[in-house]
């Protein structure tokens, strides 16, 4: 049983025995004992003075004496004013370690038929460009949140909505028609998403040149933007697409497939996946039908130009367009349709949208609109809002071709990992294939950890060189400690040692106890991380655990320990630490190499 729960239960019993008062265990106030005092958990006794009719110190002492006399897990106590500090016996901690040692996936809870189902949407790319650094943070957060929710006993569906229709892809299509020369990924040697992205940039170049030309002929900037042939051409393609024009649809399908193939490679390299992918082209009509139903029922209103709007002034917001005057849909329309289809496909208990904080207003409105349309579950959607990620040289603008490409960034990270490892000489004696695989794991571990250790709500600055550091709060530092642990266990096995037996008579030292206490909190850390949708909780726990282990490793001999029982106990402690590091890092999508 969790020590906090055990103590709260026993304090409730003690209060009943001492003062004949019925207190629920969840009402008992406990906290971690402050470092300057001896103890593991502290009970706040002030709420019970009216029952004891005594001062805080005497009341705390009476409760402490009762607990020591009746609860074997509590070794001794001390009182500081109205705070009862309880020291848990080393026997309890050793038994907790033995239990954790025997569970390979310690810290994880399995879902069952009664478990709630959470759907987590992440990635949500447009099909006019490759994934970039911002997408990396989105994908890593979404994947990690999904894995953490699963580890906390939830059923999870990982989903993606691909924005595969709209003016953005029509711009790439127009540029390809004008200047493509029948380019394909095969003929150019480019990944399909890169090829289409190049034509999105090309469109912007054509558009700007046309505007400049029109301005030079006397047009105002606003007139030039409206009259530019390229923008008119892209809009015409969009209208043809919505009218189901065969040639337009054929080109759209071809170019989108190039992008999907490119995305698949990037997702695989990033180590993320999805259980279900939705496409805007398949959901926007469902959304449009819902908007038209809302119009008929008087929920929405049509303006003079034919556009359809939601008036949200009574909710303290403004008016929101749902259908343009030409009948084409907006993102909100698509999201309404996608939400409806998802709840038809899955009995979702919690819908989590992983989308940047610039969309806070959008999801506030979406929740209101779904509720207005009669979908009860609209009120319960959760927008996991996160801050932007930037590089030291500033922000990114994809249409200008200055985007920090996800593929390039990951490739660059592998290069930095290789250079750093070679400088340190850590992989001497490995084959080239082994080195390549370790470089990949170090690079992605560095990238993922650096991004996920930060509070998701904060805008962050990503520094590739800083992230690949084998010291400090980094992925490689944690991976290296895990590899060190595996090295110790391999040497122990080569020595013929077997450390599977439990119940050995040993007396753990202070650093061993601190390490055990840190290990045994892992299940609570997983739950805290799930409840707060925060991978940062897991990341920083892993770092703290590794620091605790390295202090133990530095101060206590393991394989050279002369006492056989103590040696085997330390091997159990080492193996369990390694398992928890591996399990924790896996929730961040990070692989830990067995050798480094």
User: For the domain that residue 27 is a member of, what is the CATH number?
Assistant: 3.30.1360.70
Please name the residue ranges forming H helices in 53-191. Answer: 56-70, 90-101, 133-151, 167-179, 185-188
403 close to 129: Cβ distance less than 8 angstroms: yes
CA 499, 500, 501, 507: dihedral to nearest 10 degrees? 50
Measure Cα distances from 122 to 136, 267, 312 in Å: 10, 12, 27
Task: Answer yes or no: do 343 and 422 share one domain.
Answer: no
Q: Give the model's pLDDT for residue 155.
A: 97
Residues contacting 425, CB < 8 A, separation 6+: none
User: For the domain that residue 341 is a member of, what is the CATH number?
Assistant: 3.40.50.620
CA distance 141 to 75: 42
Domain range for 84? 3-88
Q: Last residue of a domain, which of 400, 419, 440?
A: 400
Task: Answer yes or no: do 174 and 244 share one domain.
Answer: yes
CB burial of 223-239 (b: ≥16 within 10 Å; e: otherwise) equals: ebeeebebbebbbebbe
Task: Answer yes or no: do 438 and 564 share one domain.
Answer: yes
Q: Confirm whether 112 is domain-assigned.
A: no
CA distance 555 to 562: 15
CA distance 504 to 502: 6
- Using alpha carbons, select from 395, 315, 324, 394 the residue that is nearest to residue 361: 315
Task: Answer yes or no: do 395 and 417 share one domain.
Answer: no
Q: Confirm whether 105 is domain-assigned.
A: no
Task: Answer yes or no: do 82 and 218 share one domain.
Answer: no
Task: Answer yes or no: do 370 and 430 share one domain.
Answer: no
CA distance 350 to 88: 38
- Using alpha carbons, select from 572, 554, 557 the residue that is nearest to residue 497: 572
Q: Give the model's pLDDT for residue 576.
A: 98
Task: Answer yes or no: do 437 and 541 share one domain.
Answer: yes
- In the chain, the largest separation of any two C-alpha atoms, in whole Å, equals 96
- Using alpha carbons, select from 38, 75, 94 the residue that is nearest to residue 503: 94
- Using alpha carbons, select from 119, 238, 81 the residue that is nearest to residue 173: 238
Q: Confirm whether 522 is domain-assigned.
A: yes
- pTM summary value: 0.91
Task: Answer yes or no: do 227 and 372 share one domain.
Answer: yes
Kind plus residue range of the DSSP H or E element containing 87: strand 83-88
Q: Confirm whether 113 is domain-assigned.
A: no
Q: Confirm whether 289 is domain-assigned.
A: yes
Q: Last residue of a domain, which of 380, 400, 420?
A: 400
Task: Answer yes or no: do 75 and 145 share one domain.
Answer: no
Q: Confirm whether 468 is domain-assigned.
A: yes
Task: Answer yes or no: do 138 and 20 share one domain.
Answer: no
Q: Confirm whether 251 is domain-assigned.
A: yes
242 close to 167: Cβ distance less than 8 angstroms: no
Measure Cα distances from 537 to 144, 225, 317, 445, 527 in Å: 11, 48, 34, 16, 10
Which string of DSSP letters, residue by residue, matches 527-575?
A: HHHHHTT-HHHHHHHHHHHHHHHHHHHHHS-STT-SSHHHHHHHHHHHH
Q: Tokens 């971690």, residue?
A: 32
- Take residue 362 and report the two structure tokens written for it: 């959008």
- Take residue 528 and report the two structure tokens written for it: 């805290």
Kind plus residue range of the DSSP H or E element containing 198: helix 192-216
What size, in residues, is the chain?
A: 596
* Beta carbons within 10 angstroms of residue 426's beta carbon: 18
Task: Answer yes or no: do 429 and 566 share one domain.
Answer: yes
Count the domains in the chain: 3
Q: Confirm whether 526 is domain-assigned.
A: yes
Q: Give the model's pLDDT for residue 1.
A: 59
Q: Tokens 């959607």, residue?
A: 381
Phi, psi of 259 (to 5 degrees): -65, -45
- Take residue 228 and report the two structure tokens written for it: 């530019």
- Take residue 74 and report the two structure tokens written for it: 């509590």
- Take residue 518 and report the two structure tokens written for it: 């840190």
Q: Give the model's pLDDT for residue 264.
A: 97
Phi, psi of 120 (to 5 degrees): -115, 120
User: For the domain that residue 579 is a member of, what is the CATH number?
Assistant: 1.10.730.10
SS3 482: helix
Residues contacting 186, CB < 8 A, separation 6+: none
Question: What is the Cα Rg of the chain in Å?
Answer: 30
Residues contacting 531, CB < 8 A, separation 6+: 152
Task: Answer yes or no: do 472 and 569 share one domain.
Answer: yes
Burial class (CB in 10 A: 0-12, 13-18, 19+), 528: middle
Q: Tokens 């692989």, residue?
A: 591
Q: Last residue of a domain, which of 332, 366, 400?
A: 400
Tens place of pLDDT for every residue, the chain, 596 residues?
Answer: 588 999 999 999 999 999 999 999 999 999 999 989 999 999 999 999 999 999 999 999 999 999 999 999 999 999 998 899 999 999 999 999 999 999 999 999 999 999 999 999 999 999 999 999 889 999 999 999 999 999 999 999 999 999 999 899 999 999 999 998 889 999 999 999 999 999 999 999 999 999 999 999 999 999 999 999 999 999 999 999 989 999 999 999 999 999 999 999 999 999 999 999 999 999 999 999 999 999 999 999 999 999 999 999 999 999 999 998 988 788 899 999 999 999 999 989 999 999 999 999 999 999 999 999 999 888 889 999 999 887 776 443 444 445 688 999 999 999 989 988 888 877 878 899 999 999 999 999 999 999 999 999 888 888 888 888 888 899 999 999 999 999 999 999 999 999 998 777 788 999 999 999 999 999 999 999 999 999 999 999 999 999 999 999 999 999 999 999 999 999 999 999 999 999 999 999 999 999 98
């Amino acid at each position: 049983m969790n020590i906090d729960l055990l103590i709260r239960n026993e304090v409730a019993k003690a209060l009943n025995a001492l003062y004949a008062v019925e207190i629920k265990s969840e009402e008992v106030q406990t906290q971690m004992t402050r470092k300057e005092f001896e103890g593991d958990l502290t009970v706040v006794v002030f709420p019970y003075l009216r029952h004891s009719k005594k001062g805080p110190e005497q009341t705390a002492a009476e409760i402490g004496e009762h607990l020591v006399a009746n609860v074997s897990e509590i070794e001794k106590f001390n009182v500081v004013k109205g705070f009862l500090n309880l020291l848990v016996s080393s026997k309890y901690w050793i038994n907790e370690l033995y239990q954790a040692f025997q569970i390979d996936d310690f810290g994880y809870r399995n879902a069952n038929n009664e478990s709630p189902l959470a759907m987590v949407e992440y990635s949500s790319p447009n099909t006019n460009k490759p994934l970039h650094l911002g997408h990396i943070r989105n994908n890593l957060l979404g994947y990690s949140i999904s894995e953490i929710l699963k580890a906390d006993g939830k059923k999870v569906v990982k989903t993606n909505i691909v924005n595969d229709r709209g003016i953005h892809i029509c711009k790439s299509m127009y540029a390809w028609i004008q200047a493509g020369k029948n380019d394909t990924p095969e003929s150019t040697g480019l990944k399909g998403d890169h090829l289409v992205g190049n034509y999105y940039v090309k469109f912007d170049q054509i558009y700007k040149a046309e505007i400049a030309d029109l301005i030079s002929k006397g047009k105002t900037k606003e007139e030039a933007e409206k009259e530019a042939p390229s923008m008119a051409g892209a809009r015409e393609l969009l209208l043809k697409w919505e009218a189901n024009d065969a040639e337009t649809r054929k080109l759209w399908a071809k170019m989108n497939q190039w992008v999907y193939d490119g995305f698949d490679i990037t997702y695989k390299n990033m180590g993320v996946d999805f259980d279900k992918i939705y496409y805007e082209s398949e959901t926007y009509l469902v959304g449009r039908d819902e908007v038209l139903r809302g119009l008929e029922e008087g929920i929405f209103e049509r303006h003079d130009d034919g556009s359809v709007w939601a008036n949200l002034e009574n909710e303290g917001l403004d008016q929101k367009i749902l259908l343009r005057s030409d009948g084409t849909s907006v993102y909100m329309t698509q999201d309404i349709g996608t939400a409806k289809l998802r709840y038809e496909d899955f009995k979702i208990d919690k819908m989590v949208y992983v989308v940047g904080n610039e969309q806070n207003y959008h999801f506030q409105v979406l929740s209101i609109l779904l509720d207005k349309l009669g979908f009860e579950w609209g009120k319960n959607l959760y927008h996991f809002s996160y801050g932007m990620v930037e590089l030291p040289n500033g922000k990114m603008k994809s249409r200008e071709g200055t985007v920090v490409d996800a593929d390039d960034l990951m490739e660059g990270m592998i290069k930095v990992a290789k250079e750093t490892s070679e400088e340190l000489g850590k992989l001497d004696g490995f084959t080239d294939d082994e080195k390549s695989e370790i470089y990949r794991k170090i690079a992605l571990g560095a990238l993922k950890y650096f991004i996920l250790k930060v509070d998701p709500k904060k805008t962050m600055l990503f520094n590739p060189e800083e992230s690949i550091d084998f010291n400090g709060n980094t992925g490689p530092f944690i991976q290296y400690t895990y590899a060190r642990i595996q090295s110790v266990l391999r040497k122990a096995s080569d020595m013929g040692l077997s450390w599977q037996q439990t119940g050995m008579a040993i007396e753990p030292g202070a650093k061993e106890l601190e390490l055990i206490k840190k290990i045994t909190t892992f299940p609570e850390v997983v739950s805290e991380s799930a409840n707060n949708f925060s991978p940062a909780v897991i990341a920083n726990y892993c770092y703290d655990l590794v620091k605790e282990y390295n202090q133990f490793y530095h101060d206590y001999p393991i394989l050279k320990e002369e006492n056989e029982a103590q040696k085997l106990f330390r091997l159990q402690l080492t193996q369990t630490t390694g398992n928890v590091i591996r399990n924790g890092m896996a929730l961040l999508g990070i692989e830990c190499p067995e050798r480094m």
